[in-house]
Amino acid sequence: MTSVRCASEKAMNPTFTMVLCAVALGLPTAGFLVSALSAGKLPRRVVSFLGPGVVLGAFVATLILLAELLAQPPASRGITVAFWHWLNLSVGSGGGAVARSGFNADFSVRIDSLSVLMMLVITGIGGLIHVYSVGYMAEDPGYNRFFAYMNLFITSMLLLVMSENLIFLIIGWSMVAFVSYALIAFWYQRPAAVTAGRKAFITQVIGDVGLVLGAFLIFLNLRGSGGQLLHSVDLQTIFANVGPGAHNQNGLGSMGGGLVTTIGLLLFLGAAAKSAQWPLHTWLPDAMEGPTPVSALIHAATMVTAGVYLVARFHPIYQQAPVAAGVVAAVGIGTALMAAIIGCTQFDIKRVIAYSTMSQIGLMIFAVGAGAYSAGMFQFFTHACFKALLFLAAGNVIHALGDEQDIRSMGGLSTRMKLTFGAFLVGSLALAGIPFFAGWFSKEELLSSGLALGPAVPWLWVLGVAVNVLTSFYIFRVVWMAFRGQPATSRASTAHEARPVMLIPVLLLAVLATVVGFLNIDFFGFHPITVFSEFLQPVVGTPSAHASAGIQALALVIGTLLSLGGLTLVWMVYGRRLIAADLISRHLPWLYQLSLQKFYWDEIYDVTLVRPTVALAATVTQVLEADLFDELVKGVKQGVLTLADDLRTMQTGFFRDYALIFFVCAVIGLVVLGLRLA
Amino acid sequence: MNGLFPGFLTLSAAMFALGALGVMVRRNPLVVFMSIELMLNAGNLALVTYARYTHTMAGQVFALIVIAVAASEVVVGLALITGVYRSGRRLDIDDLSEMRE
C-alpha cells in the first residue's frame, strides 16, 4: 500500500493544490490577525462578516480540494505539498556506526482523503458554528476577541490535520490546546471558567509530553532501507519505513517490539488527553464553562476528535504494536461506558452532552484501536454533525432561558421553540442510533467491525451495545425533561424561538445529521467496502477481517432494538411514569452516587495528585526557600556589603593617594611584565 | 652618536620620575600640571630616542601625536583650574576632595 502511495505522487497538480492549501490556511489566519490586531476597534458589523466569512472561504477551498482528489483514481489520491524549507541541519555523531545524515524539516502539507475529511468537518461545521456565534455572542463585550480566537482555532486545527511534518503537527496540536484554554476561560471574570481553562490546559500539556516523547523516539530510531538512521520527521517517510518490509528488525520494524509499543502508548497519551479519554478525561465536562459555540466546535466536533485522527494517521505504527492498539481499544470502550453511565444522572444540559461526547469519542477510539479506522472516522464524521447540532440547539435553549443550563428548570419548551425542539430531537435520534439517522449507520458499522476482531471480542460488542442503550436513555431523558411536560420556571414558560442567524445553522446541521449516514448505504448489502470507507481506503486500508454477514445482521438487529429499548425506557419513566424515576437511587444508591459524582475521579485526583503537590510545594517553600535559598542570598548580600565597607576607605579624596596607587600598580605591572619577558 | 642612547634614556627616566614625584607631592594644581607635562615630554624623549635607534619613523610620529594630545589636555586642565579659581576657592589640591568616601 505504501509503495502504491509513493509511486503516484505526481498525479495531482502541485501548484494548484498549494494555492488551495494556502487559501485554506491563510484565510482564517488573516481573519485572526485582523480581528486581534484591530484591538476591538473594528466595528461589529465587519467582524460579523469577516469571522464566519474566512472560515466559509476556507470551506470552499476544501471543497475544491475534495473535487480535485475525487477526480483522481483511488490509488493516486494523495499529494504532499512543500511550501518552504523550514530547517536544514546536519546531525549525527560523525563516523562510527551512526552515519552522518541531514535533518530536514519542511513546512509541508499532506492532502489525502483523511486530511481532506478532517478539513471538511473543521471548515464546514466550523463555518456553520461561526455563523451561529454571530447571534449567540451578539451582546457580548468580547465579540471581536471571540472571533479572533475562533479563527485562530480553525487555523491551528487545520495545521494539525494538514501537516505532513511531525514538528508542525505538534505545533498545531499545542496551538489548539492554547486556543481551547483561551476560549474555555473566555469569560475571564468567572472564576469557574478560569479554573476550567487551566485544568484543560494542564491536562493537555500532560498529553503533549507523551506526544513529544513518542515523536523523539520515532526520530531517534527510524531506519531506512540500508539500515541507516533516517532522522526524518516526515510522516510519509516514517510510515514507509515502519512495519513489514522495513529493514530495521531491532527498531520500528519488529512486530510487537518493545520500542514500537512504547511509541504507540506515548502517542496515545497525547491522544487521550486531547480526546478526553480515561485517565485524562476530567477536563472535558468542566470545559462546558466556555460559550456554547465553543463547546460545539472545539469540545464536540473537532479538537476532541484529534486523538482519533492521530491514531488513524499513525495506524502503521499501531498495526505493528498490537499491545498498544489493544490498550487504545480497551481505554476507548471503558471510557465510553463510564461516560455513558455518568451522563444518565447529570442535570446540566451541556454536561450531559459533554459526557455524551466523551462516550462517543470513546467508541471512536475503540474503533481505531481495534483497527477499524474507516468505521472510527465515519463515526467521527457523523458525530461532528449531530453533536454540533445538539450543542447549538442546547445553546438556543440556554440563550432563550437567560443562561439557564439546569434541565430541571426547563420543561415544556417543545411548544414554544418548535424548530429548536425538532433539531434537538433529530440530533438525539442520530446520537441514540435510531434507524436511518446518521448515528445509526456509523455506530452499527463501528460495533460490527469490532465484532470481526477475534474470538475474544463479543464481550467488547456487548459493552458497545450497553453504551448505546445508555446513550439512548440519557439523551431522551434530556429531551423529555427539557422539552416535554410543564414549564418548571417562569422563564421556561415565556421562552421564545431563537433568531434566524442562530436557527439556520441548526437546521442545516439537522439536515446533515439526517442524511450523512447514507454515505455508507452499502452496509445493507453486507459488502465490506462502502462509499465512505472506499474514500478513506487509500490512506487507512481496509480492515483485515470481517464478521460473517449473518452475525453482522444479527448484531445490527439486536443493537437497533436495544437502542429503541432505551428510548422506550425513557418514555416509560418520564413520559408515562410507569417506572419511578428514583428506582435506581432508592434500590442501588451506590450506583446512583457513583454516576452522580462522576466516579469520583476529580476527588481521586485531588487526593492523589493535587494535594500531595500542594503539600510538597508548601514544604519546599518553608524548608528549601526560607532556610536554604533565602539564607544563601542573604549571605551573598552581607559579603558584598562588608567588602564595600572595606573598599570605601580607599576613597580618601586626596589626589596624591590615587596617583600613588596608580604609580605603584604601574610599577608592579611593569615588573611582572619584565619578569615574564626575561 | 650611538653611545648617547643610554644617556638620553636615563635623562628620560629621570624626568619621568621627577614629574611623578611632583604630581604626588605638590599641592598647587598648576605645578601638578607642569609635572604632568614633564612626564609627557619624558615619554616623548624616549620615543624619539628609540625611533632613532631603530631607524624607523613610528616613534617620531607618535611623539608628534603626544604633543597634540598634551596641548588639548592643557586646554581642558587649565579650563578646570580657572573654573575652580573663579568659584572663589583656594587653588589647593588637598582642598578639592569632596569626592571622598
Q: Report, as an integer, the average pLDDT of A653-669.
A: 89
User: From the CA atom positions of chain B, what is the Rg in Å?
Assistant: 17
Instruction: Give the C-alpha distances (Å, rounded to integers) separating A179 from A32, A140, A152, A176, A626.
Output: 12, 19, 7, 5, 38
| A285 has a pLDDT exceeding 70 | yes
The minimum CA-CA distance between A659 and chain B, rounded to whole Å, is 6
As a whole number of angstroms, the distance between CA A453 and CA A467 comes to 19
C-alpha cell at A112: 489525502
pLDDT band, residue B37 (cuts 50/70/90): very high
- Tell me which H or E stretch contains A5: helix A2-7
**Which of B16, B23, B96 to mutate to test binding with chain A, by most A CBs within 10 Å of its CB?**
B23
The minimum CA-CA distance between A663 and chain B, rounded to whole Å, is 8
Check if the beta carbon of residue A506 is closer than 8 Å to that of residue A132: yes
A656/B93 touch (CB, cutoff 8 Å), yes or no: yes
Q: Which residue has the cell 408515562?
A: A576
The minimum CA-CA distance between B65 and chain A, rounded to whole Å, is 22
* B97 close contact with A: CB closer than 8 A: yes
- Tell me which H or E stretch contains B15: helix B5-25
Q: Tens digits of per-residue pLDDT, A205-214?
A: 999 999 999 9
| A7 has a pLDDT exceeding 50 | no
Q: Tens digits of per-residue pLDDT, A153-184?
A: 999 999 999 998 889 999 999 999 999 999 99
* B30 close contact with A: CB closer than 8 A: no
Q: Is pLDDT larger for residue A1 or for residue A325?
A: A325
- Tell me which H or E stretch contains A87: strand A78-91
C-alpha A411: how far from chain center? 33
Q: Residue A80 in 3-state DSSP?
A: strand
First to last CA, chain B: 53
**What pLDDT is stored for residue A253 in this prediction?**
57
Which is nearest to A510 in space by CA: A389, A356, A357? A389
What's A551-593 look like in SS3?
HHHHHHHHHHHHHHHHHHHHHHHHHCCCCCCCHHHHHCHHHHH
> Which of B25, B99, B101 lies closest to A656 in CB terms?
B25
As a whole number of angstroms, the distance between CA A272 and CA A210 comes to 10
- Tell me which H or E stretch contains A88: strand A78-91
**Which of A647, A656, A664 to mutate to test binding with chain B, by most B CBs within 10 Å of its CB?**
A656
C-alpha cell at A512: 446533515
DSSP H helices, A287-343, are 292-296, 306-313, 315-320, 322-343
Chain A residue with minimum CA distance to B98: A653
Residue A499 backbone class (left: φ over 0; alpha: ψ -120 to 50; beta: rest) = beta
- Tell me which H or E stretch contains A81: strand A78-91
Least confident residue range of A154-158, A570-574, A628-632, A643-647:
A570-574
* In chain A, % of residues over pLDDT 70: 90
**What pLDDT is stored for residue A522 in this prediction?**
56
As a whole number of angstroms, the distance between CA A32 and CA A135 comes to 19
Q: Tens digits of per-residue pLDDT, A420-452?
A: 888 888 988 888 888 888 888 888 777 777 666
A653/B98 touch (CB, cutoff 8 Å), yes or no: yes
B20/A659 touch (CB, cutoff 8 Å), yes or no: yes
Least confident residue range of A40-54, A80-94, B34-48:
A80-94
> Which of B20, B32, B97 lies closest to A654 in CB terms?
B97
As a whole number of angstroms, the distance between CA A336 and CA A334 comes to 5
Q: Tens digits of per-residue pLDDT, A75-123?
A: 778 888 888 888 777 655 544 444 445 677 888 888 888 899 999 999 9
Check if the beta carbon of residue A174 is closer than 8 Å to that of residue A270: no
Q: Tens digits of per-residue pLDDT, B47-90?
A: 999 999 999 999 999 999 999 999 999 999 999 999 988 988 88
Residue environment code for A104-117, b if the CB has 16+ CB neighbours within 10 A, otherwise e: bbbbbbbbbbbbbb
Residues on A contacting B at a C-beta cutoff of 8 Å: 648-656, 659-660, 663
Which is nearest to A291 in space by CA: A401, A202, A188? A188
- CB contacts of B101 in chain A (<8 Å) are 648-653
C-alpha cell at A653: 579624596
As a whole number of angstroms, the distance between CA A675 and CA B18 comes to 25
Q: In degrees, to the nearest 5, what angle opens at C-alpha A284 toward C-alphas A283 and A288?
A: 110
| A528 has a pLDDT exceeding 70 | no
The minimum CA-CA distance between B55 and chain A, rounded to whole Å, is 24
- CB contacts of B97 in chain A (<8 Å) are 652-655
Check if the beta carbon of residue A342 is closer than 8 Å to that of residue A355: yes
Q: Tens digits of per-residue pLDDT, A581-601?
A: 777 777 777 777 777 777 888
Q: Tens digits of per-residue pLDDT, A311-356?
A: 999 988 888 888 888 888 889 989 999 999 888 888 888 889 999 9
C-alpha A644: how far from chain center? 59
Check if the beta carbon of residue B26 is closer than 8 Å to that of residue B35: yes
Q: Is pLDDT larger for residue B82 or for residue A233?
A: B82
C-alpha cell at A113: 482523503
Check if the beta carbon of residue A489 is closer than 8 Å to that of residue A363: no
**What pLDDT is stored for residue A251 in this prediction?**
55
A659/B24 touch (CB, cutoff 8 Å), yes or no: yes
Q: Which residues contact A8 (CB under 8 A, 6 or more apart)?
A: A75, A76, A78
Check if the beta carbon of residue A440 is closer than 8 Å to that of residue A434: yes
Check if the beta carbon of residue A34 is closer than 8 Å to that of residue A26: no
CA quadruple A422, A426, A427, A430: dihedral, nearest 10: 170
As a whole number of angstroms, the distance between CA A396 and CA A427 comes to 14
C-alpha A56: how far from chain center? 21
pLDDT band, residue A43 (cuts 50/70/90): confident
**What pLDDT is stored for residue A9 in this prediction?**
44
Check if the beta carbon of residue A127 is closer than 8 Å to that of residue A508: no
CB neighbours of residue A670 within 10 Å: 10
As a whole number of angstroms, the distance between CA A669 and CA A662 comes to 10
Q: Considering chain A, what is the average pLDDT of its residues?
A: 83
**What pLDDT is stored for residue A531 in this prediction?**
73
Highest mean pLDDT out of A91-100, A477-486, A521-530, B56-65:
B56-65
This complex has an ipTM of: 0.85
pLDDT band, residue A1 (cuts 50/70/90): very low
List the helix and strand counts (H, then E) for chain A.
30, 2
> Which of A653, A656, A663 lies closest to B100 in CB terms?
A653
Chain A residue with minimum CA distance to B17: A663
Instruction: Give the C-alpha distances (Å, rounded to integers) separating A228 from A97, A102, A243.
Output: 9, 12, 16
The minimum CA-CA distance between A631 and chain B, rounded to whole Å, is 30
The minimum CA-CA distance between A639 and chain B, rounded to whole Å, is 19
What size, in residues, is chain B?
101
Q: Report, as an integer, the average pLDDT of A61-65.
A: 91
- CB contacts of A654 in chain B (<8 Å) are 93-94, 97, 100
Give φ, ψ of A106 to 5 degrees. Answer: -100, 155
- CB contacts of B98 in chain A (<8 Å) are 653
Which is nearest to A349 in space by CA: A308, A404, A297? A404
* B25 close contact with A: CB closer than 8 A: yes
Q: Report, as an integer, the average pLDDT of B2-28.
A: 91
Q: Residue A543 in 3-state DSSP?
A: coil
As a whole number of angstroms, the distance between CA A560 and CA A29 comes to 44
> Which of B24, B99, B100 lies closest to A656 in CB terms?
B24
C-alpha cell at A541: 486500508
> Which of A650, A651, A659 lies closest to B23 in CB terms?
A659
pLDDT band, residue A248 (cuts 50/70/90): low
The minimum CA-CA distance between A647 and chain B, rounded to whole Å, is 10
* B32 close contact with A: CB closer than 8 A: yes
The minimum CA-CA distance between A34 and chain B, rounded to whole Å, is 58
Q: Which residues contact A573 (CB under 8 A, 6 or more apart)?
A: A477, A579, A580, A581
Q: Which residues contact A286 (CB under 8 A, 6 or more apart)?
A: A184, A195, A196, A199, A200
As a whole number of angstroms, the distance between CA A619 and CA A625 comes to 9
> Which of A651, A659, A663 lies closest to B101 in CB terms?
A651
| B92 has a pLDDT exceeding 80 | yes
pLDDT band, residue A604 (cuts 50/70/90): confident
Chain A residue with minimum CA distance to B100: A653
List the helix and strand counts (H, then E) for chain B.
3, 0
pLDDT band, residue A5 (cuts 50/70/90): very low
Residues in a beta bridge with A108: A82
Looking from the CA of A307 toward its CB, the CA atoms found within 13 Å total 40
Q: Is pLDDT larger for residue A307 or for residue A257?
A: A307
DSSP 8-state symbol, A223: B
**What pLDDT is stored for residue B39 in this prediction?**
94
Q: In degrees, to the nearest 5, what angle opens at C-alpha A558 toward C-alphas A552 and A559?
A: 85
Residue A123 backbone class (left: φ over 0; alpha: ψ -120 to 50; beta: rest) = alpha
Check if the beta carbon of residue A47 is closer than 8 Å to that of residue A39: no
Chain A residue with minimum CA distance to B101: A651
DSSP state string for B53-71: HHT-SHHHHHHHHHHHHHH
As a whole number of angstroms, the distance between CA A356 and CA A387 comes to 9
A653/B99 touch (CB, cutoff 8 Å), yes or no: yes
- Tell me which H or E stretch contains A369: helix A349-369
DSSP 8-state symbol, A471: H
**What pLDDT is stored for residue A8 in this prediction?**
43
**What pLDDT is stored for residue A245 in this prediction?**
55
**What pLDDT is stored for residue A177 in this prediction?**
92
